[in-house]
Amino acid sequence: MAATELNEIAKQMVAPGKGILAADESDGTIQKRFKSINVESTEENRRAYRQMLFTTQGAEEFVSGVILFDETIRQNGDDGTPLREVLTKKGILPGIKVDKGAKDLAGAPGEQVTEGLDGLRERLSEYRELGAKFTKWRAVIAIGEGLPSRYCIETNAHALARYAALSQDAGLVPIVEPEVLIDGSHSIEQCYEATEATLKEVYHQLFHHRVVLEGTVLKPNMVVSGKSAGKQAGSEQVAELTVKCLRNCVPAAVPGIVFLSGGLSEEVATAHLNAMNQIGPHPWELSFSYGRALQASALEAWKGEASNLQAGQEAFLHRAKMNGAARFGKYSDEMERGAA
């Protein structure tokens, strides 16, 4: 596919006022999420839950794309329409997680490398046939005593670049996701350092693998304090350091950056994004691709009951709308409470 077409898709993914829903939880992750509301993770429950999210009226105003899991791209809605078509009919782009998860990195205790390159070319061509427009690959980088190692950063960046090149070859826009984890008691400065080292290596590898940056989207962590650090940096500092880090690492040819929420609460994730968009303009769109921070209250409202469908959809639409406002730096407390 021509670079211009990949660029067109990438621009749609980060269209003003919109962001991406990450609904690509792997079997283990969705099981964990369902367990929190005492719902068994059966294929039918997963289908019903995701159908609820995808059929939310008005969500298309704030959601440009949805990242699906392999199972979901093959499932149908109640009326037999494939769930991926439920999305495309609303003008939402379907995407697909293509990595096979993070596994222990040999010789590097406490660190992981993401697998899934073997057979990827063939899998990508099937996903394209199924209608996917973009892909996602998540690498994880842990902060700890002496971590991250160069070895871990380089190995993950190399795999991300191989994935991105294969994805573009298949005509699919790669979401490149190097996630520096929030776990630990590290300072925001340590997070900055690890994120900067990671992003620099990622762009170095993308260049060597001949990836067309105009046809990519970056999905990074925000630069934040470790989850168990005593002092948590506020939105203003998070915005300042995250933007500084990105300006130092991400070429302006990249159309957009969509943050993961990584364990931040719904409102904190929205407030941080809002603060970043208030200190623009930036060389790229700054948007969201949250999993938990778009779904937590919807999951809680749904509780696995068909009768709670409307409550679940309202909660999801509210979060999507709040983050849509944060895309313009126009999110506020009144807005959060008013519509709640």
Active site residues: 177, 219
260 belongs to the binding site for ligand 13P (CB under 6 A): yes
The distance of closest approach from Cβ of residue 260 to ligand 13P in the complex, given in angstroms and rounded to an integer, is 4
| Between 67 and 153, CB nearer to ligand 13P | 67
| Between 72 and 261, CB nearer to ligand 13P | 261
Alpha-carbon torsion, ordered 128, 134, 137, 141, to 10 deg: 180
Q: Which amino acid is at 145?
A: E
140 belongs to the binding site for ligand 13P (CB under 6 A): no
Q: Which amino acid is at 234?
A: G
What is the DSSP code (8-state) at residue 222? P
Please report, for residues 83, 92, 123, 205, 308, the alpha-carbon distance to residue 88 in angstroms, rounded to integers and kept in the order given: 9, 5, 21, 33, 25
b/e 247-285 (16+ beta carbons within 10 angstroms → b): eebbeeebbbbbbbbbebebebbbbbbbbbbeeeebebb
CA 234 to chain CA mean position, Å: 22
Beta bridge partners of 270: none
Return the range that interacts with ligand 13P (CB under 6 A); candidates 35-43, 157-165, 284-292, 318-326: 284-292
Instruction: Give the DSSP H/E element, type plus range, for residue 65.
Output: strand 63-68
262 belongs to the binding site for ligand 13P (CB under 6 A): yes
| Between 127 and 290, CB nearer to ligand 13P | 290
| Between 190 and 261, CB nearer to ligand 13P | 261
Return the range that interacts with ligand 13P (CB under 6 A); candidates 163-171, 210-218, 255-263, 328-336: 255-263
Contact pick of 235, 261, 297, 313 for ligand 13P (by CB under 6 A): 261
291 belongs to the binding site for ligand 13P (CB under 6 A): yes
50 belongs to the binding site for ligand 13P (CB under 6 A): no
One character per residue 167-196, x = contact with ligand 13P (rule: CB under 6 A): ----------x-------------------
Integer Cα distance of 316 and 310 in angstroms: 10
The distance of closest approach from Cβ of residue 96 to ligand 13P in the complex, given in angstroms and rounded to an integer, is 12
Hey, how many other C-beta atoms are within 10 angstroms of the C-beta on 35?
11
The distance of closest approach from Cβ of residue 312 to ligand 13P in the complex, given in angstroms and rounded to an integer, is 17
- Give contact residues for ligand 13P (rule: CB under 6 A): 22, 138, 177, 260-262, 290-293
